[in-house]
Chains A and B, each alone.
Chain A
Amino acid sequence: MGILLDEAPYILEKMPGGGIIITSADWLINWSRANSLWPLTFGLACCAFEMISTNMSKYDLDRFGVFPRPTPRQADLIFVAGTLTKKIAPKLKKLYDQMGEPKYVISMGSCSNTGGPFYDSYSVVKGVDKVIPVDVYVAGCPPRPENLIEGILKLQEKIKKDTIKNNDRAQIFK
């Protein structure tokens, strides 16, 4: 309950037509989304091992509410960890499309950020953002688990700034 009390909104926005309710709903929704990020693990190459070790007991992603899921239906975050080849790019798009809104993407490692060491290769996609939109880029080859955790915290910060009014993601509220 600590997080709830620490972060409870003490400044309420005034809006015509029920401002208090909008602000509180924003805060509650963002708080619950940010603290239960369930990632679909999409390990493609060496970076996948850093992602795995981040999930293991030493770094323990569970304490941030991050809990790996094997299916896109249950996931709201996808870690793209590794070299995305042109052959698997359509499959990544398909999995991303199967995830329910709201969905977030963390691109992990140089390969998925830009193509990395394989930038000149005939078969490697030059960045995951050519296929799906990316929220957080984690740099490194491979990034250490601390870097990935930092990326997750950055994503949580980003989610906490979301609002259900004027939100590009949540088309349903437009």
Chain B
Amino acid sequence: MTEPRYLNDIKGKFPGTEAVLPEKIKDGIPAFDCPPSLILDIVKYLKAEGFNYLMNLCATDYKDTFEVIYHLSALESKAKITLKVKINREKPELASITPLHPGANWQEREAFDLLGVVFTGHPNLTRILLSCDWEGYPLRKDYSRKPDQYD
């Protein structure tokens, strides 16, 4: 099977993008480490290449950095791709892809709610699961839970 064109094109078009080593990939889906500043452009390019469906968007805390992970798929060709973006833990900001994939709306709010990743350009970045007056971001590794009247 020949490599699809976009896999090479991403690296050429977007400097700083690195393919994740094949031995690190467990699910067989090609993955790329992307620089935070380019994520909107890369998703836009992939959308033009047919990746029109955002399967999943989530964030992880690696103690020294946050990683936001995008799983995109193409409904026509059934191809899948993973994008990983490492962002600064002190100032976790990233461009929102909600204008391109409206399905990202609630998933970005979830990542904001539980990990505090700020998606700039999001139409309504408010807490989605926890109550509005919640303090802190519970899925951060350094979150310490304060007992309240329900504990």
| Complex interface: chain B residues within 8 A of A123 (CB) | 130, 138
A125 touches B130 (CB 8 A): no
A122 to B151, CA, bound (A): 9
Measured CB to CB, the residues of B under 8 A from A are: 129-131, 138, 143, 145, 148-151
Q: Which of A32-67 contact B (CB under 8 A)?
A: none
Closest to A86 in B: B150
B129, B130, B131, B149: which contacts A130 (Cβ < 8 A)?
A: B149
Interface size class of A (residues with CB under 8 A): under 10
A87 touches B150 (CB 8 A): no
Given contacts A122-B138, A122-B143, A123-B138, contact A87 B151 (CB under 8 A): no
Q: Which of A88-143 contact B (CB under 8 A)?
A: 89, 122-123, 125-126, 130-131
B143 touches A87 (CB 8 A): no
| Nearest CB of A to B23, in Å | 35
A44 to B145, CA, bound (A): 23
Given contacts A122-B143, A123-B130, contact A86 B148 (CB under 8 A): yes
| Complex interface: chain A residues within 8 A of B145 (CB) | 122
A89 to B151, CA, bound (A): 12
Closest to A90 in B: B131
A89 touches B150 (CB 8 A): yes
A131 touches B143 (CB 8 A): no
A125 touches B138 (CB 8 A): no
| Complex interface: chain A residues within 8 A of B143 (CB) | 122
A130 to B130, CA, bound (A): 19
A125 to B145, CA, bound (A): 13
Closest to B136 in A: A122
Given contacts A87-B130, A87-B131, A123-B130, contact A130 B138 (CB under 8 A): no
| Nearest CB of A to B4, in Å | 42
A130 to B151, CA, bound (A): 8
| Complex interface: chain B residues within 8 A of A87 (CB) | 129-131
| Complex interface: chain B residues within 8 A of A126 (CB) | 150-151
| Nearest CB of B to A134, in Å | 15
Name the residue among B129, B131, B145, B150 with the largest chain A CB count within 10 angstroms. B150
Closest to A87 in B: B131
Name the residue among A86, A89, A122 with the largest chain B CB count within 10 angstroms. A122
B131 touches A125 (CB 8 A): no
Mask, A14-30, CB within 8 Å of B = 1, is 00000000000000000
| Complex interface: chain A residues within 8 A of B148 (CB) | 86
15 more A-B residue pairs beyond the given contacts A87-B130, A125-B150, A130-B149, with a C-beta to C-beta distance below 8 A: A86-B131, A86-B148, A86-B150, A87-B129, A87-B131, A89-B150, A122-B138, A122-B143, A122-B145, A123-B130, A123-B138, A126-B150, A126-B151, A130-B150, A131-B150
A87 to B131, CA, bound (A): 6
13 A–B contacts, CB within 8 A, in A order: A86-B131, A86-B148, A87-B129, A87-B130, A87-B131, A89-B150, A122-B143, A122-B145, A125-B150, A126-B150, A126-B151, A130-B149, A130-B150
| Nearest CB of B to A119, in Å | 10
